Chain A
């Protein structure tokens, strides 16, 4: 194979894996948007919050330590124990479910039947609240997240590809793990929504609220479930991203990358979120590889948005959306 093609292939593979993360965050958006018509601005912060909570629980941090110490004049920071990774993940999931219940009780319940823009504003408020609350609870320092996922360049892939093509691919084992986890997650979610009572209820609520009520589905319960699932998806995204670049504020900014993904994939399409994520991931890496050097690099910051804008002009309904036919 020619050298350039090999480089490009490696870039595409890396892009696919970055795309998996975008897809995960976008998936969280789509789930909530479909079920409740809420564009959840806080999805990215949820990922950050989940990752912080996971690290906090795992390393035995005392929540609100700073606050407690200031008020009581104490000097406590750690419980002095370590919680196993799997248990920490389950506990964090519990926290995300609790969060979903709170969101429903405090926000959604009261804002039902409001304009979408009001709900959107509420989630902006929610995002800033969570950000502050997360800092207050776990501190704002950059944290290392390690739940035992494999990390580092895969030597096997490097040497095998070197033997085959005379060029060794550099692929992070964490990316491979993230991809596998994301694929399992998406398949499970799909099966769940197709073949269980609650899965069908989720789809029913996404389709028609009145009809859903008439067959006995409680909207409020479904909202809690949807936000819990979105919390779970945020946790998975938070773990992957956190393991890669540490748990820090910039994690919540990947949510901004989800926006072009959604424009591409459509706001209500789960396959759209996944394919859109992959396209953006691959697209921005390839663009940087091919065009970046000519324009001085850093194209990854804006490429996704430009692509999304172009897309909006030609296919406003997104990749998988039904064609919008104007009534005249």
Chain B
């Protein structure tokens, strides 16, 4: 592990040691190399952005982290240990939660039920107890329900608690999806383009929620974002990808002045 020491940011948040480290990751789909020999780390408590043009391999990287994709080469170190190949649901139990580029909510379920489902890894009662709603199962429902309600308050979505999420407008769906991931109280939160397709006001709201999550709960966040302005505003460090390679890594200022990064972004329309 890199022997990074903890430090305090300008706005007073503490950034700790490395919690996740990707070492020389290569991921191929047949002939397509989606990720080519990339290494980077994520430190406790930081907001780490991954940026790059469309098709650069950003989503693939998140999919590697949460186990949807298995890289052909490289090592993944999480919480100081090298991670054996695992299924996505096992990785969720290790404390990694995520949202998706194209919202993946349980559309037929209410906001509350979606967020309760996000509590899955924290609910331990066995099937028989649940079937009879007895003892621990009942207590567990009540306790987790309270936590879910807190998240609903935090995200200011009380008015849609009971609404089936499939009926919600896009921006609110994105917010519920964030809520479901937060409900897991993850050690590492992965957000794939949380602001894509939003208007300016919605983007500001979402930025504020992401900053608040990080600030209030100290949650470590890795996020993919297209909007350079937003990225520069909210992230502590940025990885820049292009055609599956890493072409930049550093603070927003360092990255902004990196010639490779400037070149990669020239002529690429920002949306």
A residues lining the B interface (CB < 8 Å): 191-192, 195-201, 203-204, 206-208, 210-219, 225
Q: Is the CB of A203 within 8 A of B120?
A: no
A201 touching B117 in the complex, CB below 8 Å, given contacts A207-B109, A225-B127: yes
| B residues less than 8 Å from A216 (CB atoms) | 89, 92-93, 120-121, 184
Q: Is the CB of B104 within 8 A of A208?
A: yes
| A residues less than 8 Å from B119 (CB atoms) | 197
Q: Is the CB of B130 within 8 A of A192?
A: yes
15 A-B pairs within 8 Å (CB atoms) are namely A195-B141, A196-B130, A197-B130, A198-B127, A200-B116, A203-B109, A206-B108, A207-B107, A211-B104, A214-B97, A214-B104, A215-B117, A216-B89, A218-B87, A219-B89
Q: Is B105 located at the chain interface by the 8 A CB criterion?
A: yes
Q: Which residue of A lies closest to B130 (CB)?
A: A196
Q: Is B88 located at the chain interface by the 8 A CB criterion?
A: yes
- What's the minimum C-beta distance from B71 to chain A, rounded to whole angstroms? 18
Q: Is the CB of B130 within 8 A of A203?
A: no
Q: Is the CB of B108 within 8 A of A203?
A: yes
| Binary contact readout B108-136 vs A (1 if CB under 8 angstroms, 0 otherwise) | 11000100111111010101001101000
| A residues less than 8 Å from B107 (CB atoms) | 207-208
Rounded to whole angstroms, the CA-CA distance of A218 and B120 in the bound complex is: 11
| B residues less than 8 Å from A198 (CB atoms) | 127, 130
Rounded to whole angstroms, the CA-CA distance of A213 and B88 in the bound complex is: 6
The 8 closest A-B pairs by CB, nearest first: A216-B92, A211-B104, A196-B130, A207-B106, A213-B88, A216-B121, A197-B123, A218-B89
Q: Is the CB of A214 within 8 A of B141?
A: no
Rounded to whole angstroms, the CA-CA distance of A203 and B112 in the bound complex is: 14
- What's the minimum C-beta distance from A19 to chain B, rounded to whole angstroms? 26
A210 touching B104 in the complex, CB below 8 Å, given contacts A215-B97, A218-B89: yes
- What's the minimum C-beta distance from B108 to chain A, rounded to whole angstroms? 6
Rounded to whole angstroms, the CA-CA distance of A217 and B117 in the bound complex is: 9
- What's the minimum C-beta distance from A271 to chain B, rounded to whole angstroms? 13
Q: Which residue of B lies closest to A196 (CB)?
A: B130
| B residues less than 8 Å from A208 (CB atoms) | 104-107
Rounded to whole angstroms, the CA-CA distance of A192 and B129 in the bound complex is: 11
Q: Is B243 located at the chain interface by the 8 A CB criterion?
A: no
Q: Which residue of A lies closest to B103 (CB)?
A: A211
A215 touching B130 in the complex, CB below 8 Å, given contacts A196-B137, A204-B117, A207-B106: no
- What's the minimum C-beta distance from A173 to chain B, rounded to whole angstroms? 29
Rounded to whole angstroms, the CA-CA distance of A199 and B141 in the bound complex is: 12
Q: Is the CB of B106 within 8 A of A203?
A: yes
Q: Which residue of A lies closest to B104 (CB)?
A: A211
Rounded to whole angstroms, the CA-CA distance of A203 and B166 in the bound complex is: 14
Q: Is B180 located at the chain interface by the 8 A CB criterion?
A: yes
Q: Is B48 located at the chain interface by the 8 A CB criterion?
A: no
- What's the minimum C-beta distance from B202 to chain A, rounded to whole angstroms? 21
Among B88, B98, B133, B180, contact of A195 (Cβ-Cβ < 8 Å): B133
Rounded to whole angstroms, the CA-CA distance of A197 and B127 in the bound complex is: 9
| B residues less than 8 Å from A199 (CB atoms) | 130
| Binary contact readout B162-189 vs A (1 if CB under 8 angstroms, 0 otherwise) | 0000000000000000001100100000
| A residues less than 8 Å from B100 (CB atoms) | 210-211, 214
Sample of 8 further A-B pairs with CB below 8 A, known A208-B106, A214-B181? A192-B130, A192-B131, A204-B109, A208-B105, A212-B89, A212-B106, A216-B89, A216-B184
Rounded to whole angstroms, the CA-CA distance of A283 and B44 in the bound complex is: 65
A197 touching B109 in the complex, CB below 8 Å, given contacts A210-B100, A215-B180, A218-B89: no
